[in-house]
Amino acid sequence: MTQATADERRTDGDRDTVLYEQMLFIRRFLEKVDVLYRQGQMHGPAHLGLGQEAIAVGAASVLRPDDYSIGTYRGHAHALARGAPPEAVLAELLGREGGICGGKGGSMHITSVEHGYYGSYAIVGAHLPIAVGLAWASRIKKTGQVTICFFGDGAVNIGAFHEAVNLAALWALPIVFVCENNQYMEYSPISSMIPVERPAASRASAYGLEPLVVDGNDVSAVAELVGAAVDKARDGGGPALIEADTYRLKGHSAADAGAYRPAEEVEQARTQEPLLRQRAALVSAGTDEQDLIRLETRIAIAVSGLADRVLAAPKPDPATVWTDVWADGGSRWRN
């Protein structure tokens, strides 16, 4: 995906369709993962970002190919949005040969360095300091690269968040922190776990940063605000902390029905989810609905075929468990 100015992003109709297509692919992909999980095809947990696709796609759309992004165990969308091959991602989730992490990372650690996605981390908040290191390296090397660090609302209550944002602001690093506020810290509403109004934005002033909030279900709004923050960071303007409001349409993990959420809240959220909204925006801007239906059909078929191919793939060679600990490729710790 190429970098575009804010004006181009607002006016490019093709681009809006591409954003819709990317979100739709991720939605269908995640729904398929949910089904496969229920069928017992997955070994280990699956944390799905259903309903949060606009943040991953909108943010990725403003990055240069050599920019860094980094995320959480709910990171499938972020990897795919940067261009990670879906077949390799699904093979990782299903424990098949060709998995993007060789079967050693699984659902919570999807990574595609080749596409600038430097990993999904499963200790809440732990990757914020790592993201700071990526941005620090860009500053030292003067490469003009920007880092986007995605994290959930629950991460603002762990120390690593504060250490990382503080250091990034102190060193004026080229990094954009994006809080995906999906309203829930696992099973607890985030509002019940913070003494301030907003998990991320209310903390921004503590680090000399502007409190930035965006409708995280509006992919164009995400692209615009994140794009402006990325441009500023690239120009030496230092970090930004953005809170993107969204809603997790499913439970914390695929094993969680999310029954602690009021039914009316979920129903309301379903009317505000990003795909419906982007589709409506495209139609109202003059896109032929028949074109959209063709697109939707094509993606449904693609995801179905993808799953069939991956399920038919062989399991990993057990001998590979001993590879990749050290840079020499092996795992020997003694002679």
Partner 1 sequence: MAELTYRNAVLAALAQEMERDERVVLLGEDITSGGVFKTTVGLVDRFGAHRVWDTPISEQAIVGAAMGAAMAGLRPVAEVMFSDFYAVCWDQVVNEIAKTRYMTGGQVTLPLVLRGANGFGSLGFGSQHGQSVENWAMCVPGLKIASPATPVEMVGLLAAAIRDEDPVLVFEHKALYGVKQPAPEGEQFIPLGQARVAREGTDVTLVGLSITVGMCERAAAVLADTGISAEVIDLRTLVPLDAQAVLGSVGKTGRLVVVEENPGQLGWGAAIAALAAEEAFDDLRAPVIRVSGGNVPWPVARELEAVVDVSPERIAWAVQTLMKHAAAPPRQH
Contact residues: partner 1, CB under 8 A: 68, 99-105, 109, 111-114, 118-119, 121, 123, 126-138, 140-141, 159-160, 163-164, 166-167, 170-171, 323-329, 331-335
For the sheet containing 240-245, what is the strand order?
117-121, 68-72, 147-152, 175-181, 240-245, 212-215
Shortest approach of partner 1 to residue 118 CB, angstroms?
A: 6
Minimum distance between the CB of residue 97 and partner 1, rounded to whole angstroms?
12
Cα(51)–Cα(35) distance, rounded to whole angstroms?
16
> Which residue number, 136 or 309, has a Cβ lying nearer to partner 1?
136
Minimum CB distance to partner 1, residue 116 (Å): 11
Which CB, 40 or 318, lies closer to partner 1?
A: 318
Taking the least distance from each CB to partner 1, the nearer of 164 and 303 is 164
Q: Which helix (H) or strand (E) holds 120?
A: strand 117-121
Distance CA 46, CA 299 (A): 22
230 alpha-carbon distance from chain centroid: 16
Q: How far apart are CA 298 and CA 293, in angstroms?
A: 8
Amino acid code (one letter) for 24: L
CB of 72 to partner 1, least distance (A): 13
If phi > 0 it is left, if psi is from -120 to 50 it is alpha, else beta; for residue 167 that is: alpha
Residue 89 vs residues 11, 33, 200: alpha-carbon distances, Å: 32, 11, 30
- When the beta carbons of 112 and 220 are compared against partner 1, the nearer one is 112
* Cβ at position 173, least distance to partner 1 in Å: 9
Shorter beta-carbon distance to partner 1: residue 67 or 218: 67
The sign of the CA dihedral 214, 53, 218, 260 is negative
Sign of the C-alpha dihedral, residues 42, 102, 164, 116? Answer: negative
| CB of 328 vs partner 1, minimal distance in Å | 8
Nearer to partner 1, 286 or 329 (CB): 329
CB of 268 to partner 1, least distance (A): 37
Compare residues 264 and 328 and give the one whose CB is closer to partner 1.
Answer: 328
For the bound state, the minimum distance from the C-beta of residue 10 to partner 1, rounded and expressed in Å, comes to: 32
Beta-carbon contacts of 128 under 8 Å, excluding residues fewer than 6 positions away, are: 149, 151, 155, 160, 161, 163, 164, 165, 177
Q: Which is nearer to partner 1, 108 or 194 (CB)?
A: 108
Q: State the nearest-atom distance from the C-beta of 123 to partner 1, in Å.
A: 5
The rounded distance, in Å, linking the Cα atoms of 230 and 235 is 9
Complex with partner 1: residue 5 or 320, whichever CB lies closer: 320
Report d(CA 158, CA 156) in Å as an integer: 6
Residue 177 has φ and ψ, to the nearest 5°, of -85, 125
